[in-house]
Structure 1
């Protein structure tokens, strides 16, 4: 088993289950043209986020880590009329590409708002709770992002955290990578937090060997 096979299976499943989508394809193309890193969720993962948000009945969504807005579009499409998504992006260049992609997808600032700057600086300005929260930002600060998410949640809020397996290095306590240690610190915090029920799922595919955490606020 290797990444080439995992990618081929991902492509097959995407072709089998997802319709052609010029808007999402254009978002990825613009991201690549702008030189952004190719780290957006895969199409099948985007659909999973969309389904989870719809299953949660989310009317308000918070995303940490916009990049070019690919996952933001998937999440915004889960919103009912009158819903909103707030997405946090550190890099102004990334935010500009995302704004263009979101506008083309039909989600203007009245529906999809981009907060530009470090999330730890912009999150304190938010007050209203969210129904669904997707965390796909830098991993070193995951525990802090989850704590902010809890402040911005209510009983029943769904929280998804991406990239928590790190090619299996999450089990290596001696790995000094801040991303690995950030995931481990977050997992310890969640394990001891009575406000959350959580699990984590390992995944393989176009993005390699990784996984995501799924939690629900009591």
Structure 2
């Protein structure tokens, strides 16, 4: 049994850790503990609960209304791991600057970033959105269609990225990808980027935007980008979605081709 004197000796250290890492403790509480409790209490997944909220709060056919409902869900109800409005503005700006016609999204989750991209793209453009989790893909499909985007604008593919990328040309008729948004498993960033490089789908000037490269982080991906010599690149510094105190970043890559 620990004596009171020893416990008191460790109290300053404990308080220091709690203060220094308070945002991480808060994230763990909201993203893990609260989620587990509400999953058990409601019998629904977090994404299903968010969709029910959006159905009651958003206006069908209005993408801005749906994005705002997602933001309200977080601020008023429950944490959800989506891009969020602050990093979303970085994505918006890059899309408006480049006006890509063919977009690949790796990690649709529940459709927030898909809707955000679709509303910013020019007429005649198309998003191929990949999501390997069937439950999340079902919610994403409903959200995307609720926003008013049909199959001609957004094609949702429910398969792992490493299966789909090699088949994009043969099975989906994709010749070149103008823009790729990565927001799936961080361990997949590097191998999927290498698949894209080897597939011939990246043309000179193709842009890749990868989220969460600093937290939770994608060090192997960034190391490959630095060493490959294939890209002009930079990291847009930002905070983790809906967080003031956890530093994160989005990597912007512009493919220069094989030298």
Stretch of structure 1 that moved more, 100-109 or 202-211: 202-211
- Structure 2 residue 58 is matched with structure 1 residue 25: no
Shift of 1:29: 7.6
**What is the 5 A alignment of 1:29-44?**
38-44=80-86
Q: Per-residue displacement from partner, 1:106-152 (whole Å, max 9, x unpaired)?
A: 11111101110211112211022111111011011211121233332
- Give me the CA root mean square deviation: 2.6
Structure 2: how far apart are the matches of 1:149 and 1:78? 24
- Structure 2 residue 255 is matched with structure 1 residue 213: no
Flag the 1:30–1:101 CA change in 2: closer, same or farther, 3 A: farther
Flag the 1:68–1:30 CA change in 2: closer, same or farther, 3 A: farther
Runs (4+) of structure 1 moved beyond 6 Å? 28-31
Match of 2:225 in 1: 190
Structure 2: how far apart are the matches of 1:93 and 1:163? 23
Flag the 1:27–1:102 CA change in 2: closer, same or farther, 3 A: farther
Stretch of structure 1 that moved more, 76-85 or 206-215: 206-215
Match of 1:160 in 2: 209
Structure 1: how far apart are the matches of 2:230 and 2:132? 28
Kept in 2: contact 1:135–1:145 (CA 8 A): no
Structure 2: how far apart are the matches of 1:77 and 1:3? 32
Structure 1: how far apart are the matches of 2:219 and 2:68? 34
Stretch of structure 1 that moved more, 87-96 or 207-216: 207-216
Match of 1:129 in 2: 176
**What is the 5 A alignment of 1:1-218?**
3=23, 21-26=64-69, 38-127=80-169, 128-150=175-197, 151=199, 152-166=201-215, 180=217, 183-204=218-239, 206-207=242-243, 208-218=246-256
Kept in 1: contact 2:71–2:85 (CA 8 A): no
TM-score norm. by structure 1 comes to 0.76
Structure 1: how far apart are the matches of 2:211 and 2:167? 24
Give the total of aligned pairs: 185
Kept in 2: contact 1:85–1:112 (CA 8 A): yes
Shift of 1:21: 3.1
Aligned residue for 1:143, secondary structure, equals helix
Shift of 1:48: 2.0
Structure 1: how far apart are the matches of 2:176 and 2:100? 11
Kept in 1: contact 2:108–2:114 (CA 8 A): yes
Shift of 1:157: 0.8
